[in-house]
């Protein structure tokens, strides 16, 4: 039999890896720092987390750009997809196969697989030190950036330790006391403790007392200089204290890429830095099954990745960039029964606004036209903002069954009465405005894209890495390994071996 040389080499490599792994597993005492990487530690580490960003999410934008510009399928490549190392990362929690952002980000930040909703705590609800805290304690500067609120599950899992992600007030206090150097992006959901069982006072006042300068508009943001500790958020935070969807943003809005590039300028120092950047609304758009908003937010996230790559090009031997998703969202797939083997991503360019802005239009129309709502009248808004047409012979024209389903959804939305979360109705629209979901479903399906859920799925994600120790991110591994790999690139080890009590804690 003939084995190509490449295949033989791969087999020998795999065998070596297997033998080494077996040694590490039975050895038990080897620290994570030595398990994965033993070279000179990275001085600058970027961790990008695309929330809800599965594998289809990372190809759809490339095919969309190619279709929009009339180029071949392989013409565009997002920066994250060009990295030399690409791994497959599984994403389950300790107590549920389909994970949420809190447990996922905790696995990535601490190396611990934990329970749904936990922030920076192990399954026994004991706090575990995060890689960001380790970086801070070693004298590096630390930055945390997110396009959703800065107290949301993903960013919180790097600086907070709370039993539940919904404890926004307590999380804000953990932020104020974190000693991290830069927080950028979205705002705070409950700084004053209005929804807390035991309010601890204004978290922003505590932050100011702890030396943070707080800026909330573009002009002040651009004037910031390195030296002080900073909390910076966008002036316009339209939903859940998050940045607007990338496709709805204006020149006044600070982009995720700008929060990242300013972060680099503010954090750069002789001891190095660790920066986590989250693209949080890739997830939100996917929950809502809006492919176009998902695509534009993924492109905005990739623009932020580019800023880190530009920095890495100037500091190639000292920088590590890791890009991952914390889980897949929406069960996005790049095919649909109705379009068989065809794709027509150019139809997506008809969409001009995110589902969120359209949702407000539907609500306004309902309120202003109580008792006299007309589908024909409303349809002009659908045509203007999504490019769909009632009749015609091009592929933007609605089929009879599509038109009927759109009318049904319109009636349901105009009635404004829905029991959420159950039955066939839920399968059709999730907990969203029926007309909004129906419009994006029709447009997405015409393109040859489809969704299977309004929730996360258990589909693995891609992890990409470039720079110091990047090869350790190849392979197939759980996201908790990702946390350990990043720690080892920095010369750190996990807080303690999994299942052991924190140092100094008696018994158990
Ligand atoms: Zn989600």
Residue ranges with CB less than 5 Å from ion ligand 1: 283
Residue 418 is predicted with a pLDDT of 75
| 398 pLDDT above the threshold of 60 | yes
* Mean pLDDT of all residues in 465-482: 97
Q: 252-293: per-residue pLDDT in tens?
A: 999 999 999 999 999 999 999 999 999 999 999 999 999 999
> Rounded to the nearest whole angstrom, what is the distance from the C-alpha of residue 435 to the centroid of ligand 1?
21
**Bridge partners, residue 212, by sequence:** 229
> Rounded to the nearest whole angstrom, what is the distance from the C-alpha of residue 260 to the centroid of ligand 1?
22
> Rounded to the nearest whole angstrom, what is the distance from the C-alpha of residue 20 to the centroid of ligand 1?
37
- Contact call for residues 283 and 352 (beta carbons, < 8 A): no
Residue 502 is predicted with a pLDDT of 57
> Rounded to the nearest whole angstrom, what is the distance from the C-alpha of residue 25 to the centroid of ligand 1?
33
Which residues are CB-neighbours of 366 under 8 A, at least 6 positions away? 373, 413, 414, 416
> Rounded to the nearest whole angstrom, what is the distance from the C-alpha of residue 456 to the centroid of ligand 1?
6
| 188 pLDDT above the threshold of 70 | yes
The domain spans of the chain are 31-332+455-489, 337-447
- Contact call for residues 473 and 88 (beta carbons, < 8 A): no
Residue 15 is predicted with a pLDDT of 44
Residue 450: φ, ψ to 5°: -145, 160
CA atoms within 13 A on the CB side of 402: 19
| 433 pLDDT above the threshold of 70 | yes
Residue 498 is predicted with a pLDDT of 58
* Mean pLDDT of all residues in 140-160: 98
Q: 82-98: per-residue pLDDT in tens?
A: 999 999 999 999 999 99
> Rounded to the nearest whole angstrom, what is the distance from the C-alpha of residue 81 to the centroid of ligand 1?
22
| 337 pLDDT above the threshold of 60 | yes
Closest CA to 117 of 148, 152, 91: 152
Written as six digits, the tokens of 114 are 């934990």
Residue 506 is predicted with a pLDDT of 41
* Mean pLDDT of all residues in 123-142: 96
Residue 416 is predicted with a pLDDT of 85
What share of the chain in percent tops pLDDT 70?
A: 91
- Contact call for residues 297 and 425 (beta carbons, < 8 A): no
Q: pTM value?
A: 0.92
Written as six digits, the tokens of 35 are 């398990």
What are the angstrom distances between the C-alpha of 343 and each of 73, 446, 448, 462?
Answer: 11, 8, 5, 23
CA distance 251 to 260: 17
> Rounded to the nearest whole angstrom, what is the distance from the C-alpha of residue 360 to the centroid of ligand 1?
21
Helix or strand holding residue 231 (H, E): strand 229-233
> Rounded to the nearest whole angstrom, what is the distance from the C-alpha of residue 496 to the centroid of ligand 1?
29
Of the pLDDT bands very low, low, confident and very high (cuts 50, 70, 90), residue 325 is very high
> Rounded to the nearest whole angstrom, what is the distance from the C-alpha of residue 494 to the centroid of ligand 1?
26
By DSSP bridging, strand 461-467 and strand 319-325 are antiparallel
Taking residue 474's Cβ as centre, other Cβ atoms within 10 Å add up to 14
3-state secondary structure of 123: coil
| 298 pLDDT above the threshold of 60 | yes
CA distance 115 to 122: 7
> Rounded to the nearest whole angstrom, what is the distance from the C-alpha of residue 451 to the centroid of ligand 1?
14
> Rounded to the nearest whole angstrom, what is the distance from the C-alpha of residue 370 to the centroid of ligand 1?
33
Helix and strand element counts for the chain (H, E): 18, 12
> Rounded to the nearest whole angstrom, what is the distance from the C-alpha of residue 457 to the centroid of ligand 1?
10
| 467 pLDDT above the threshold of 70 | yes
> Rounded to the nearest whole angstrom, what is the distance from the C-alpha of residue 327 to the centroid of ligand 1?
8
> Rounded to the nearest whole angstrom, what is the distance from the C-alpha of residue 279 to the centroid of ligand 1?
12
Residue 29 is predicted with a pLDDT of 34
> Rounded to the nearest whole angstrom, what is the distance from the C-alpha of residue 99 to the centroid of ligand 1?
9
> Rounded to the nearest whole angstrom, what is the distance from the C-alpha of residue 293 to the centroid of ligand 1?
15
Of the pLDDT bands very low, low, confident and very high (cuts 50, 70, 90), residue 475 is very high
> Rounded to the nearest whole angstrom, what is the distance from the C-alpha of residue 227 to the centroid of ligand 1?
35
> Rounded to the nearest whole angstrom, what is the distance from the C-alpha of residue 336 to the centroid of ligand 1?
23
Alpha helices in 248-340 (DSSP H): 256-267, 281-287, 291-314
> Rounded to the nearest whole angstrom, what is the distance from the C-alpha of residue 507 to the centroid of ligand 1?
37
> Rounded to the nearest whole angstrom, what is the distance from the C-alpha of residue 285 to the centroid of ligand 1?
9
> Rounded to the nearest whole angstrom, what is the distance from the C-alpha of residue 284 to the centroid of ligand 1?
6
* Mean pLDDT of all residues in 213-227: 95
Topology adopted by domain 31-332+455-489? Alkaline Phosphatase, subunit A (3.40.720)
What are the angstrom distances between the C-alpha of 182 and each of 11, 139, 375?
Answer: 45, 14, 49
> Rounded to the nearest whole angstrom, what is the distance from the C-alpha of residue 423 to the centroid of ligand 1?
21
What share of the chain in percent tops pLDDT 90?
A: 86
Q: 5-64: per-residue pLDDT in tens?
A: 444 444 444 444 444 443 333 333 334 444 799 999 999 999 999 999 999 999 999 999
Closest CA to 319 of 480, 483, 489, 481: 489
Residue 497 is predicted with a pLDDT of 60
Question: Pick the residue with more confidence: 447 or 19?
Answer: 447
> Rounded to the nearest whole angstrom, what is the distance from the C-alpha of residue 508 to the centroid of ligand 1?
34
Residue 394 is predicted with a pLDDT of 87
- Contact call for residues 406 and 435 (beta carbons, < 8 A): yes
């Amino acid at each position: 039999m003939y084995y190509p040389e490449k295949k033989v080499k791969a087999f020998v490599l795999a065998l070596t890896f297997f033998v080494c792994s077996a040694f590490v597993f039975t050895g038990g005492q080897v620290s994570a720092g030595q398990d994965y990487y033993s070279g000179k530690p990275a001085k600058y580490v970027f961790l990008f987390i695309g929330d809800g960003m599965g594998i289809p999410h990372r190809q759809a934008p490339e095919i969309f750009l190619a279709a929009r510009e009339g180029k071949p399928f392989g013409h565009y490549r997002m920066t994250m997809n060009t990295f030399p190392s690409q791994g497959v990362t599984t994403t389950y929690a300790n107590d549920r196969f389909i994970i949420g952002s809190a447990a996922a980000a905790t696995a990535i930040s601490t190396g611990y697989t934990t329970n749904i909703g936990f922030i920076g705590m192990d399954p026994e609800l004991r706090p575990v030190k995060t890689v960001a805290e380790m970086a801070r304690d070693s004298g590096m500067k630390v930055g945390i950036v997110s396009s959703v609120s800065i107290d949301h599950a993903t960013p919180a899992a790097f600086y907070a330790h709370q039993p539940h992600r919904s404890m926004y007030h307590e999380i804000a206090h953990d932020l104020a006391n974190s000693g991290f150097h830069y927080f950028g992006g979205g705002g705070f959901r409950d700084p004053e403790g209005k929804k807390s069982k035991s309010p601890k006072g204004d978290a922003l006042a505590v932050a100011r007392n702890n030396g943070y300068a707080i800026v909330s508009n573009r002009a002040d943001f651009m004037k910031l200089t390195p030296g002080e500790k900073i909390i910076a958020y966008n002036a316009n935070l339209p939903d859940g204290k998050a940045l607007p969807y990338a496709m709805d943003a204006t020149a006044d809005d600070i982009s995720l890429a700008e929060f990242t590039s300013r972060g680099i300028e503010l954090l750069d120092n002789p001891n190095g830095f660790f920066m986590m950047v989250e693209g949080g609304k890739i997830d939100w758009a996917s929950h809502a099954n809006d492919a176009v908003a998902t695509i534009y937010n993924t492109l905005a996230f990739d623009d932020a990745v580019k800023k880190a790559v530009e920095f890495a090009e100037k500091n190639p031997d000292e920088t590590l960039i890791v890009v991952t998703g914390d889980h897949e969202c929406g069960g996005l797939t790049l095919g649909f029964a109705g379009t068989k083997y065809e794709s027509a991503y150019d139809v997506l360019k008809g969409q001009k606004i995110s589902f969120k802005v359209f949702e407000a239009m539907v609500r306004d129309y309902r309120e202003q036209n109580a008792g006299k709502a007309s589908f024909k009248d409303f349809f002009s808004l659908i045509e203007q903002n999504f490019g769909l047409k009632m009749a015609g012979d091009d592929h933007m024209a609605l089929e009879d069954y599509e038109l009927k389903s759109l009318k049904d959804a319109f009636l349901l939305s105009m009635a404004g009465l829905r029991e959420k979360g159950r039955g066939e109705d839920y399968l059709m629209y999730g907990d969203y405005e029926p007309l909004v979901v129906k419009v994006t479903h029709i447009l997405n399906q015409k393109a040859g894209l489809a969704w299977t859920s309004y929730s996360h799925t258990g589909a693995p994600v891609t992890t990409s890495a470039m720079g110091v120790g990047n090869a350790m991110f190849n392979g197939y591994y759980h996201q908790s390994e990702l946390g350990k790999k990043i720690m080892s690139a920095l010369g750190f080890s996990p807080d303690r071996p999994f299942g052991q009590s924190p140092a100094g804690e008696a018994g158990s």
